[in-house]
Structure 1
Amino acid sequence: MAQGSGRKPLVADKRYPKSRSGKGAKPARRGARKGSSGGGIFGFLFGRRKPAAAPKKAAPRKKAAATRKPTPKRKRGLIGTLLAPFRWLLRLVWGFTWRVGLICTGIVALAVGYQYMKLPEVTQLLDGRARGSVTLLDAKGEVFAWRGDQFGGVVTTQTVSKHLKNAVVATEDKRFYRHFGVSPRGIASAVRINLSEGRGPLSGHGGSTITQQTAKLLCLGEVYDPEVWESERAYEADCRQGSLWRKATEAVYAMAMEAKYTKDEILSIYMNRAYMGGGAYGAEAAAQRYFGKSANQLNAAEGAMIAGLLTAPSSLAPTNNLKRSQDRAATVLRLMNEQGYLTAKETQYAQSHPAELSEAAEARAGGYFADWVMDTIPSYFGDQTTEDVVIRTTLDQRLQKAVEGAVDHVFENKVREGSKAQAAIVVMSADGAVRAMVGGRKTRVSGVFNRATQAKRQTGSAFKPFVYATALELGYSPLDRVLDAPYCMDIPGSGEWCPQNYTRKYYGEITLTQALRDSLNIPAVKISEAVGRDLVRRVAGDFGIDNEMAEGPALALGASESTLLDMTGAYAGILNGGSSVTPYGVTSLSLVEDSEPLMGSSGGMGERVIRTKAAQQLVWMMEKVIAEGTGRRAQIPGWQAAGKSGTTQAARDAWFIGFTADYVAGVWMGYDDNTPLTGVTGGGLPAEIWQEAMVRVHEGLEPKPLPMQAPDPLPTPQPSDRDQRRGPRIGQELGRAVDGILRDIFGN
């Protein structure tokens, strides 16, 4: 370097930064540790390294050596001395832990990312029913029952009532808006509760968040496949299994949902897919099912009741036990108050004014009538439907309440306490349209044995009108006379058979009208034998009694079996002028999205069985039964009514079936195990039930006369005239045989 430049010569110490002691220090050589770490994954996990070559030490400067002070050694305490041998173990454990944790975090992140990629758009997850729904409308088009998996429509957190939304969060997951899909705090709390209650840590309370519950509802994205699962029940069982691996997978899926959807979208999925009892899936279906209103109209008490169902929807459903459901709702309201969703005043008001069921919900899903309707339609439109079906029916809810009230009234006031006797009642129009039905003394039940449609019982004297219908069709007059006197028949293979009247008395020569009015057995058997049992069977069968009928002469006394529905339908045929009737409850069936029905009426009037004149004369005869005979207890003030009582052998069954100009009603009473009734005949309690029901049914209606025709007065009988009048008009093949039998009966 040139002299005189004014620069001082370079000093080697200044090329390096000062050490912490203020002196320059030479940095370690690059690459001195290159390749020093090794051992693969074990090296990564446990931190093992090969010893690196020691760098050459720079010659210590004398000045630095002279001024550096030796570092004093720290004194170890007793604990430090004792732990010193284990420090290497702690370092090993810590190194292993954080590295394994890092690997697990990576695996979880990959799993979450994989599930994230598989998740569909939120709109595809809102309706997850395996089956469709069936909505039943009454004759006026009002909903009265539901079946299947009811889905009322999509709701969101923005469209649903704030009370329902808040109640769900307060009850199911109060930290929903603060966690990432899994709540370690909630899991720890659930484990603590389970252990304190003597269960396993994962048994009982699960600590699941709403997101995890939604993941479970979605079955972690698995769709039902009949080739994989034996049934939908098996599929659901797999979706709800509680193994540790399943819970871990559920947590991963929940975190993926949190990454894919917003909190409100997750809550919306949950409120649309959750089962809420009574066949209702989702908040809208539950609101309509229980309260007859939309989910956006629910008040605090109603929202709390629906949210309370989520823990046990079947047992807590208000249609099963309203009081239990209201108690649960009171607890939900308290939670809402504690979490700031309701003020103390609002909570107190809602608890003191609990939610009440709508009228349709009180009907317990339509009861016996809805069960019968579901049995009459094809299963693919009924219990097994995958579509949303709407069925319009013939039900009149006013009449349904009337007959329910009548049955309750009679059993509460006129049947001895503790009696196990049952009763059933059917009301229909003259064309067979069923307007009301009760299948047992417990009127508001569903899914149980229906005695109106399923019980086949002997009909007793309620069958006799069809014997006289056959005679009238053949040309007999209601004023024709028959001898009521001791009468026996020789039955091949059985010996002598001698029918007797219920009173054990004989009344001599009487008209057919008197015989029917007083329900005398001997005249009925004589007329049946005179016109021919085959014709009686044919007329009764054409009127709708299509069960296998008795072969012997006891046919006339109601030895055959039938259901109350079929018997009432047969009487409707008498009222409508002699045409057959098929009882029906469905007027149309359609899919929700279709305007045109897929099915029309399931029944109605059919072919003519007897002439109109014969039917109207039979009505005239049956009117005498109620006005003057065995059915006097069935009289309806201000109305003409016709009918017939029936009591079977040993009083195992008691019937009363009759009609006004507007409605036909049938009542059956008896025991399910065929135990004889005590002191009950068809003209007794069944007639009183019939009268009580029909008075309520006709309330507010204008009285109408019955379609009946009195018989023409009979002229002085002449043999030729009599033979001509009594000649057969149906079954001409009987001919002379019938005439001979008539002479034997009437003693001419």
Structure 2
Amino acid sequence: MAQGSGRKPLVAEKRYSAGGKGKPSAAKKPARKKPARKAKPRKTGLFGLFARKKARAKPAPKKRGFIGLLLAPFVWAFRLVWGFTWRIGMVVCLLVGLAVALQYAKLPEVSAYLDGRARGSVTLLDRKGEVFAWRGDQFGGVIRADTVSPHLKNAVVATEDKRFYRHFGISPRGVASAIRINLREGRGPLSGHGGSTITQQTAKLLCLGRVYDPAEWKSESAYEADCRKGSLWRKGTEAIFALAMEAKYTKDEILSIYMNRAYMGGGAYGAEAAAQRYFGKSANQLNPAEGAMLAGLLTAPSSLAPTNNLKRSQDRAATVLRLMQEQGYLTTAEMQQNQNAPAVLSEAAAARAGGYFADWVMDTIPDFLGDQTTEDVVIRSTLDQRLQGAAEEALNYIFENKVRPGSKAQAAIVVMSADGAVRALVGGRKTRVNGVFNRATQAKRQTGSAFKPFVYATALELGYSPYDRVLDAKYCMKIPGSGQWCPENYTRKFYGEVTLARALRDSLNVPAVKISEAVGRDKVSRVARDFGIDSDLAAGPALALGASESSLLEMTGAYAGILNGGSSVTPYGVSELKLVNDSDALMGASGGIGERVIRPEAAQQLVWMMEKVIAGGTGRRAQIPGWQAAGKSGTTSAAKDAWFIGFTAEYVAGVWMGYDDNTPLSGVTGGGLPAEIWRETMVRVHDGLTPKPLPMLEPAPIAPPPQQTRRERRRRQGPQLGKELGRAVDNILRDILGN
């Protein structure tokens, strides 16, 4: 380009900044001035501040697409619902918090909740001081979660609430799971599985803090039913109570309340009572199998109680052991070991609740110390468990081997000492029962010939000798309002002149009636009552033949009076009664030997007569090898009742057999099956004892009359023969004329 042309040379514009190579540099453009905005007057004060905040908070409107338009109603609805929900939630939380705080303030110290029984317990001990039965609400004492067997504690948590130590009293996950299971099984959401935590179950056991009030509830059962209600409102209040407990008590304290108050079957409340009831040991000594069995009872304590069905209880315990293994409380080897060696009952638990004997003892003490006691009572009884087992075994043996299968006949046995202390009592064929009809104490049945010893006791007391004679011949009496009554012997035969001893030995009816009439029925009745037969006695001549009704316990006690030398006896089963932890007894023996009824010589002669019954009379089947025994059989009209009562120098025993509906026994008399039951019982009772002789006295023989000539004998016998002939003629005329 030519110089001086006046034009400037061409220069390429700078494309890169000076700061770095290869980077373009933005061309500088002249700044464009924005038109000045007209300033608005600034608002001041509160309204101004609000307006500025509102202006800053409000974003610029955005354009919505098609999807935004579709979602707009849902977004609006969600915002509306959420706005109501969080506000209502806040109100509900506030109200729940207030309710929990109020409940928290009402909760007492934990010790007040450890024993919640409305009634006390009755513990029955045998004559050796060993527990054989329980009654009432048994409570073994307070246990705590930190001192109880860890196997029991772990079993309870594993079975009832595996998240117990992690939740705050309520388990939403557990509730949801329970509702899902209930709906799947076709039930209502709150029916069946409840999903309750241990804390909630404890709240239910406490009845949400409400104490039983007889003025509010008709009975304890109504109170308990009210506490178990499962309405939605009830569940809500239960949850509030549970939350308050979680705030007030520690987890172990809540678990302690639960394990002390939970019912575990068999009348046992709390783990300590259950451990004593079923295993005869304290709850802090339980092994895994025993702990699992107790924990398994919490689901259904009555039906799963090992005293009701041991196999079912063991099966449930095996499931609990598996849960303990799954949750890490046991190893697989420990689980299998305890499943293969399940828990078993103690001897006292195997005897269930003491059967008929315990029922009878409870009936003999005041209600305020028995069924209705509010205290814990201990009763020392007269029961000998070895003898009780002997009686039960003997009864079973006879019915299994001597009675036709399917027979509905019943039997009862009483064994006692000569002072009236009852050592064994069986009230029916089913021995492992309680609270049922007791045929030994409650049944009143005709005694038959078992009553005859009291007729002869009266005669001996009045000076008669066992060798005195009485005529066994046809004998009739006119009974006012009933006509003529002619007693007969069981054999339908008469045996002429017999001694009193033979008349009792062979159980002859006519001599017994004649002796009763001779000494006076009123005297016979008085002797029988004095010996302890309190039942109403017949007023007519049939008194001598056992037309009156009595219980087996009364009759056996009356025979004990004959054995002890002629003094009355009151049968008793209580030796001592006292409150737990008290050293002084509230009651002593409830019976024993009373006043004398007949002379010792008369009693000993009667024992001698009754020994002949077993040695060679109607009671031959009751003989005991090596022992002297005395007794009497009894069979009522139409064989509705059969008895055998007797004694050795050691024990008195009575047996009754018959039907509850008075159906006649087929081919059974008192000297038959009842005598065999008596024998089998007494053989077992005397096992291992040294034989002792009976306290009997053989009477002096009656001196024969002096020698007389034939003419003198005729002269003396003439008037007597004339009287006998006159009586015979009178009887024939009465039969002909019908008088």
**TM-score range relative to shorter protein:** 0.7 to 0.9
Hey, what's the Cα distance between the residues in 1 that align with 2:95 and 2:524? Answer: 83
Q: Give structure 1 regions of 4+ aligned residues with deviation exceeding 6 angstroms.
A: 26-30, 55-58
For 1:234, the aligned partner's letter is A
Aligned partner letter, 2:490: Y
Name the counterpart of 1:124. 112
Secondary structure at 1:510 match in 2: strand
What's the offset of the Cα at 1:27? Answer: 12
Report SS of the residue matched to 1:156: coil
**How far did 1:74 drift?**
6.0
* Post-superposition offset of 1:30: 7.4
Q: Does 1:569 align with 2:569?
A: no
Aligned partner letter, 1:584: Y
Among 260, 275, 288, which residue is 1:300 paired with?
Answer: 288
Query: CA shift at 1:422, angstroms?
Result: 0.5
Report the 3-state secondary structure (helix = DSSP H, G, I; strand = E; otherwise coil) of the residue aligned with 1:436: strand
1:87 Cα shift?
2.5
Q: CA deviation at 1:329?
A: 1.4
Q: Deviations over 1:155-191 (max 9, x none)?
A: 1112211111111111111111111101111111111
2: distance between equivalents of 1:190 and 1:571?
Answer: 65
Shift of 1:588: 1.2
Deviation of the 1:31 alpha carbon? 3.7
Give the letter aligned to residue 566 of structure 1: E
Cα deviation for residue 76 of structure 1 reads: 3.0
Aligned mate of 1:423, from 391, 411, 436: 411
Deviations 1:264-302 (A, max 9, x none): 110010000001111100000000001111111111111
Q: State how 1:623-634 maps to structure 2 within 5 Å.
A: 623-634=611-622
SS in 1 for 2:360: helix
How far, CA to CA, are the matches of 2:114 and 2:704 in structure 1?
83
Partner of 2:362: 374
1:165-244 aligned at under 5 Å gives the runs 165-244=153-232
Aligned pair partner of 2:382 in 385, 391, 394: 394
Q: 1:536 aligns with which of 520, 524, 537?
A: 524
Look up the match of 2:65. 76
RMSD of aligned residue pairs (Cα, Å): 2.2
Structure 2 residue corresponding to 1:287, chosen from 275, 279, 301? 275
Letter matched to residue 207 of structure 1: G
Q: Would the alpha carbon gap of residues 631 and 107 (structure 1) be closer, same or farther in structure 2, given more than 3 Å must change?
A: same
Larger-Rg structure: 2
> Partners in 1 of 2:198 and 2:61 — Cα distance?
60
Question: 2:688 is paired with a residue of what secondary structure?
Answer: coil
The match for 1:5 is none
Shift of 1:71: 8.4
Partner of 1:164: 152
Q: CA deviation at 1:77?
A: 5.1
Distance in 1 (alpha carbons) for counterparts of 2:376 and 2:700:
58
Distance 1:512-1:33 versus aligned 2 partners, 3 A rule: farther
What TM-score, normalized by structure 2, do the two folds share?
0.88
**SS at the partner of 1:99?**
helix
TM-score of the two chains, using structure 1 as the length reference: 0.87
Structure 1 residue matching 2:399: 3-state secondary structure: helix
- Paired with 1:711 and 1:28, the residues of 2 have a C-alpha distance of 139
Q: What is the match of residue 3 of structure 2? A: none
Aligned twin of 2:629: 641
SS in 1 for 2:440: coil
The alignment status of 1:269 with 2:249, answered yes or no, reads: no
Q: Which residue number corresponds to residue 143 of structure 2?
A: 155
Identity in percent: 80
Match of 1:62 in 2: none
Contact 1:28 1:55 in 2 (8 A): no
**Is the counterpart of residue 471 in structure 1 residue 494 in structure 2?**
no
- Please state whether the residue corresponding to 1:311 is helix, strand or coil: coil
Matched, 1:609 2:597: yes
Structure 1: unaligned runs, 5 residues or longer: 1-25, 35-51, 59-69, 719-739
1:658 and 2:622 aligned: no
What is aligned with 1:560? 548
SS in 2 for 1:268: helix
How many angstroms apart in 1 are the aligned matches of 2:594 and 2:191? 62
Residues in 2 aligned to 1:744 and 1:105: alpha-carbon distance in whole angstroms: 108
Q: CA deviation at 1:56?
A: 11
Give, in whole Å, the separation in 1 of the partners of 2:53 and 2:621.
Answer: 122
Give the total of aligned pairs.
Answer: 670
State the alpha-carbon separation in 2 of the partners of residues 377 and 539 from structure 1.
28
* Distance of 2:632 and 2:218 partners within structure 1: 53
Q: 1:72 to 1:249 in 2, by over 3 A?
A: closer
Question: Are the aligned partners of 1:461 and 1:558 in contact in 2 as well (CA < 8 Å)?
Answer: yes
Structure-2 change in CA distance of 1:615 and 1:89 (3 Å)? same
The residue number in structure 2 matching 1:546 is 534
* 1:347 lines up with 2:347 in the alignment: no
Measure, in 2, the Cα distance between the counterparts of 1:663 and 1:341. 55
Offset, 1:546: 1.2
Structure 1 pair 570–71 and aligned structure 2 pair: CA distance change class (3 A) = closer
Looking at structure 1, the residues matched to 337 and 250 of structure 2 have their Cα atoms a distance apart, in angstroms, of 34
Q: 2:344 aligns with which of 342, 356, 379?
A: 356
Q: What secondary structure is seen at the aligned counterpart in 1 of 2:174?
A: helix
| Corresponding position of 1:312 | 300
After TM superposition, give the deviation of residue 86 of structure 1 in Å. 3.5
Residues 514/27 of structure 1: CA separation in 2 closer, same or farther (3 Å cut): farther
1:29 Cα offset (Å):
7.2
User: Could you tell me how far 1:595 is from its partner in structure 2?
Assistant: 0.9
Aligned-partner SS, 2:181: helix
User: Match for 2:580 among 572, 580, 592?
Assistant: 592
How far, CA to CA, are the matches of 1:470 and 1:585 in structure 2?
Answer: 29
Task: State the AA in 2 paired with 1:118.
Answer: K
Q: What one-letter code is carried by the residue in structure 2 that aligns with 1:376?
A: T
Give the match for residue 699 of structure 2: 711
Could you say which residue in structure 1 is the equivalent of 2:657? 669
What does 1:510-521 align with in structure 2 at a 5 Å threshold? 510-521=498-509
What secondary structure does 1:667 align onto? strand
Q: Does 1:278 pair with 2:266?
A: yes
* Cα deviation, residue 33, structure 1: 7.8
Letter in 1 for 2:65: R
In the TM superposition, residue 224 of structure 1 has moved relative to its aligned partner by 1.5
**Which secondary structure does the structure 1 equivalent of 2:578 belong to?**
strand
What is the aligned counterpart of 1:619 among 607, 612, 616? 607
Cα distance, 1:443 vs structure 2: 1.2
Shift of 1:673: 0.4
Contact 1:144-1:366 within 8 A present in 2 as well: yes
In structure 2, list runs of 5 or more residues that go unmatched.
1-40, 707-722, 731-739
Contact 1:29 1:55 in 2 (8 A): no
Query: Is 1:494 matched with 2:494?
Result: no
Asked if residue 433 in structure 1 is aligned to residue 421 in structure 2, the reply is yes
* Deviation, structure 1 residue 744: 8.4
- Cα gap change, 1:57/1:483 in structure 2, threshold over 3 Å: closer, same or farther? closer
Aligned letter for 2:606? Answer: L
Structure 1 residues 175 and 57: alpha-carbon distance in aligned structure 2, compared to 1, 3 A threshold: closer
Structure-2 residue corresponding to 1:726? none
Query: 1:32–1:55: 8 Å Cα contact kept in structure 2?
Result: no
Q: Distance in 1 between matches of 2:374 and 2:62?
A: 82
Instruction: Report how far residue 568 of structure 1 moved.
Output: 0.1
* CA pair 200-71 structure 1, distance change in 2 beyond 3 A: closer
C-alpha distance in structure 1 between counterparts of 2:632 and 2:334, whole Å: 60
Q: CA deviation at 1:325?
A: 1.4
Counterpart pick for 1:692 among 680, 686, 704: 680
CA apart distance, 1:28: 10
